[in-house]
Amino acid sequence: MVTSVISAGDAANLGVQTTGGNDGVLVLRSGAAGAKVDALSIAASGTATFVGEVAGVSAINSGQIGGRRNILYNGEMKVAQRSASVAGLGAAGGYFTLDRWQMVTGASAGRFTMAQVADGPPGFANCLKLTTTTADTSIAAGEHLLLSQNIEGQDLQQLKKGTASAEQFTMSFWVKGNASAVYVVEVYDSDNSARVTHQSFAVTTSWNRIELTFTGDTTGALDDDNATSLSFSIWLHAGADFTSGTFVSNTWSSMTHPNRAAVDGFTSIYDATSRTFFITGVQWEIGATATEFEHRTFGTELALCQRYYEKSYEYAVALGTVTYYGMHVAGGSAAGPTGTSFISGNFVEYTQRKRAAATVVFYDQAGNAGKSQRWLLGSHNTNNQNVTNAGSSERGVFPYSSGTSSSSGIQIHFTADAEL
């Protein structure tokens, strides 16, 4: 190979030239003789090098040029405010460990452990690990288990769903397991009579990046609000109610339950005790190309997650731990509506504004849920005292505790949950 040079400038430097090099480089050269500039070089590997700035670019991969590209939260599995590991799951769904990642389950005897573990492909320190602890090989028709994340409609308007210019989008993530498996990715539209699209993927015993591009949906605009519009889910277990139909890949349609996980070779994570599923680097972006994962700082990711859930305890401290650190202190008392006194807490402001008014659970210093710690001037603190939520909003909560002393105050820990 030789280097080819496309030149523009004075008459002596027009046209395509070659050099004696053997590096296979294409060079775009401009300028007059004696002042020529190699403005752009493209190597045989495809790497492009610009001398000046790149101007006038309207999009990258059909999406925004800068800022946050990944629609999902906590895709790097960094943030786990509730707990790093919870065992014995499967009887009911919910949020257990890694922030924003929900387990959706129904009618199965299978049980599993959900954990944040220090494992991942290069560039990733953590992943989410599911481990089957009780197998379920007699699968009833309605059984199901999904790993899911719900996204607000107001954060999805860039998809232009329901319009003629609906954007295609790409899901990418790293996965592995201790045995080969086939699972299903599903995107579920809650705003438009449960429209869905899905694709299958294979898991091996080594870390592998899955890249799935979905067509845009020209039917059904998304609500511009703070409720769930689309859900990203991975089907990990399913009975005949969800596997007995026909699997049509990458096609938006009204949801038909028997089709949702009906792909050939679908594997249940419950098929054997100790079966594992690892996932990290989960990204959802506009366009047909899976770009490099958008790494965010821990502080940024934590703040994003705290829109949906936060706790007063220090980050690595479990709920119900006996500790003063992080407690909110409120003092003073006043006449109550029945002539008794009530010990009023100051308004407790959240670290981050919540998606909606949160469900709040109070704890006293000893870790008793639904209780406060009362203190008297010059006296000891007393745990296991009553506390009431006098009102909560997106910004915070107002606790109070009834009592008889005019020199009392209360101290509380809390959790505030505004998850979808």
CA distance 121 to 281: 9
Dihedral sign, Cα of residue 301, residue 223, residue 95, residue 283? negative
Question: Residue 311 belongs to what H/E stretch?
Answer: strand 309-311
- Tens digits of residue pLDDT in 312-361: 999 999 999 999 999 987 665 655 555 455 555 678 999 999 999 999 99
**What is the predicted pLDDT for the residue at 86?**
98
> Which tens digits make up the pLDDT trace of 396-407?
998 888 765 555
**Which pLDDT does position 128 carry in this prediction?**
98
CA distance 103 to 14: 64
Q: What pLDDT is recorded for position 344?
A: 57
43-57, 66-80, 99-113, 202-216 — which is least confidently predicted?
43-57
Task: Find out whether 346 and 383 touch, Cβ atoms under 8 Å.
Answer: no
Structure-token match 């934590």, residue found: 302
Q: Where are the alpha helices (DSSP H) in 45-99?
A: none
pLDDT bucket at 262, cuts 50 / 70 / 90: very high
**Percent composition of the chain: helix, strand, coil (DSSP 3-state, to 5):** 5, 40, 50
153 pLDDT higher than 90 = yes
The answer, yes or no, to whether residue 93 has pLDDT greater than 90, is yes
CATH fold for the domain made of 85-305 = Jelly Rolls (2.60.120)
pLDDT score, position 363: 96
CA distance 418 to 361: 12
What average pLDDT does this structure show over 233-262?
A: 97
Query: Is this prediction's pTM over 0.75?
Result: yes
pLDDT at 409: 77
**Residue 65: how many other CB atoms lie within 10 Å:** 10
**8 falls in which pLDDT band (50, 70, 90)?**
low
Residue 15 pLDDT: 55
Mean pLDDT of 139-155: 98
Two tokens, residue 186: 């599903």
Query: Which tokens is 374 given?
Result: 């009362």
User: What is the model's pLDDT at position 58?
Assistant: 60
pLDDT at 65: 62
- In this prediction, residue 42 carries a pLDDT of 82
Return the pLDDT at 41. Answer: 78
Q: Where are the alpha helices (DSSP H) in 264-373?
A: 298-305
Domain ranges for the chain, please list them.
Answer: 4-50, 85-305, 311-417
What class has domain 311-417? mainly beta
Residue 412 burial (C-beta neighbours within 10 Å; 0-12, 13-18, 19+): buried
Closest CA to 272 of 233, 237, 235: 237
Distance CA 348, CA 227 (A): 25
pLDDT of 370 higher than 80: yes
Measure the CA–CA gap between 240 and 276, rounded to whole angstroms.
Answer: 23
pLDDT digits (tens, 9 = 90+) for 125-138: 999 999 999 999 99
What's the count of helices (H) and strands (E) in the chain, helices before strands?
A: 2, 29
